[in-house]
Amino acid sequence: MSIDLEQIRSANPIEQLVGEKFALRRQGTRYVGVEHDSLVVTPQTGQYFWNSRGEYGDAFDFAGRHLLGYDNRWNNRDAAMFMEADRYLAQRAGIVIEMQADFHKSFAWAERQLVQRLHEALLNTPAALEYVTKIRGWQPATVKAARLGFMPQDKRPLLADLNLPDKWRMVISKFPSGMLVYIHLEQGRLAYLSGRSITGKQHYNSPREILGERRPYYNHLYSADAEQIALVEGQADAITFSEWGVPALAIAGMHISDDLLGQLRQHPAYSSRSTTRQKQWTRTVRLPGGLVQHHSCRVCPMV
C-alpha cells in the first residue's frame, strides 16, 4: 500500500508546525517570524519561506530541517530522510503508518516532485531565470514562493521514477518546451499547469480534454479568509501583487463561473462591477499608502 502524504500534510498545518519552533505573528493572510522577520509562512499553499537563509518548503521540509535537526543537510529526495520526516509528522498527528507502506507510490509525492523538478529547471536555465528576475523584475524569494517552473527540451528527467497519474504525463508531453510554467495549486495539491513564452507573448493552457476547464491562479498570499483580494487578468499580475503583499487571484482567460463569484463574495472587502457581459474587469487596488493603479493588468476593486 502507499502512504497518504496529503492526509499527513493536511493534519499538520504549516503555521502550527512552524509556530511550535519559532514565534509567529499574523500579517494579513500570512504569518511572519517575531524574531526572524524574513521567515514567512503561507497557510494557503502550505509553504514556508526563510528568505535570509534561502530556505523554503512545506511541512515535510520544515520538520526535516528544524524538528529532526538535519538543517542544511536536509534533502527531500533522500528516501530515508523523507521517510523519517513522514513518520514524525504522522505520529504527531496520530496517524498510523504500516511499516510496509511506500510513499513513492503516492500520487501526492509524485506531483510534489514534479513541481520541484519544474522549479529546478527554471533555476538551472539562465534565460528563464533572467526573464523572471530581470524582465519581470520579481525578487528571487517571490519566484521561489510562486514555485515558478520552466519546461525544458528534454522532459524525461521531469518524469523519471515518478508514479504520476496518466493525466500529468500527458500534460507534460504536450506542454511546449521553452516556456515559463505557472503552477496552479488548490488546497496544496497540483490542479493545473499553464505557460507563457519567455520570448514573445505566447500563452499556453493545458488541453481541456485532459484537465478540463481552465483553472484560476492563486498567488501564494491568497487565502479563503483574506479580507482583501485583487482579482486580476493574468498569472504574472497575481505574482506582482504578491510582491506588494496583496493576495490575488488571476482568472487567466477563464470565464468567471457562478461558483467562483460565490467564492469571491466571501471576502469581506470584495465588490465587483462588470463592464461587459463577458465580465471584463478594469480596476484599481487599495494598497498601504493609497490607491495604486497597476497599468499592465485589469483588476477588480477592493473597497
State residue 31's pLDDT score: 92
State residue 269's pLDDT score: 59
The 10s digit of each residue's pLDDT in 210-248 is 999 999 999 988 877 777 888 898 999 999 998 888 889
State residue 207's pLDDT score: 96
Paired strand residues for 92 = none
How far is it, in rounded angstroms, from Cα 61 to Cα 85?
8
Nearest 5°: CA angle at 235, between 196 and 160? 55
State residue 159's pLDDT score: 95
Which residue ranges make up each domain of the chain? 5-103, 107-215, 230-292
For the chain, give the mean pLDDT.
Answer: 83
Grid cell digits, residue 302? 477592493
Whether the per-residue pLDDT at 6 is higher than 60: the answer is yes
Q: Buried b / exposed e across 78-107, counting CB within 10 Å, b at 16+? A: eeebbbbbbbbbbebeebebeeebebeebb
The 10s digit of each residue's pLDDT in 26-46 is 988 789 999 998 899 988 778
State residue 282's pLDDT score: 35
5-103 and 107-215 share one fold: no
Letter for the amino acid at 273?
A: R
CATH 3.40.50.740 assigned to 107-215: no
SS3 104: helix
The 10s digit of each residue's pLDDT in 251-293 is 888 877 778 777 777 776 554 433 233 333 333 344 444 433 3
Q: Which fold has domain 5-103?
A: DNA Primase; Chain A (3.90.580)
The 10s digit of each residue's pLDDT in 173-210 is 999 999 999 999 887 789 999 999 999 889 999 999 99
Which of 145 and 63 is assigned the larger pLDDT? 63
State residue 63's pLDDT score: 96
How far is it, in rounded angstroms, from Cα 119 to Cα 181?
9
Give the model's confidence band at 294: pLDDT under 50 very low, under 70 low, under 90 confident, else very high: very low
State residue 198's pLDDT score: 95
pTM: 0.74
Q: Rounded mean pLDDT of 18-25?
A: 95
How far is it, in rounded angstroms, from Cα 31 to Cα 25?
5
Whether the per-residue pLDDT at 303 is higher than 70: the answer is no
